[in-house]
Amino acid sequence: MDKTNQDKLGRQSQLILLKTKSCALTQIKLFQEKLDNHDNEILDAVSGLSGGVLSKGSTCGVVFSGALSLAMLLDNKVVNWTNQHEIALHNQIRDYIVWFEENYKSSLCRERIKLDLWTAKGVAKLLLPQKIIKCLSHTKGSMLYLSSMIEE
């Protein structure tokens, strides 16, 4: 993917995140658009994963939806699943999580943004520029990583 398309994709991910307020939903929505495979049930399923699965601070919604995106990509390419396909998917997901943790220091939302999203104060602080910029940056970086998988 050339630099112009990378910048465009990065801006798209950030705009969708600002609109939806859901990192997980942003990731899946963009990935479905790139695959031209729209599934509202998947969008509904991931909508509660932001903030570390129901705002509990656990696995980041970007990480979870990135793993789901990899599964969607492989499912789009493979007609008859075998054990080898499952192994390949597990390896891709592992590599993605390792990449995410190396680049953003953790795959846990609470460790990255350091907020308790079950409190009004925590949610309000998420709107502070230094907090939302992290989510915007991680969503953009993740989408760029995953889009390179589409082109392979």
pLDDT tens readout for residues 27-86: 888 888 888 888 888 888 887 777 766 666 678 888 999 999 999 888 888 888 899 999
Quickly count: other Cβ atoms within 10 Å of residue 41's Cβ. 7
pTM of the full predicted structure? Answer: 0.83
Helix (H) or strand (E) holding 4: helix 3-20
In which residue are the tokens 């929505």 written?
Answer: 29
Q: Provide the b/e sequence for 52-66 (b: ≥16 CB within 10 Å).
A: bbebebbbbbbbbbb
pLDDT tens readout for residues 83-141: 999 999 999 999 999 999 999 999 888 787 777 777 777 777 766 667 677 888 888 89
Question: How high is the pLDDT of residue 140?
Answer: 87
What residues are paired with 108 via a beta bridge?
59
* Distance from C-alpha of 63 to C-alpha of 70, rounded to nearest angstrom: 11
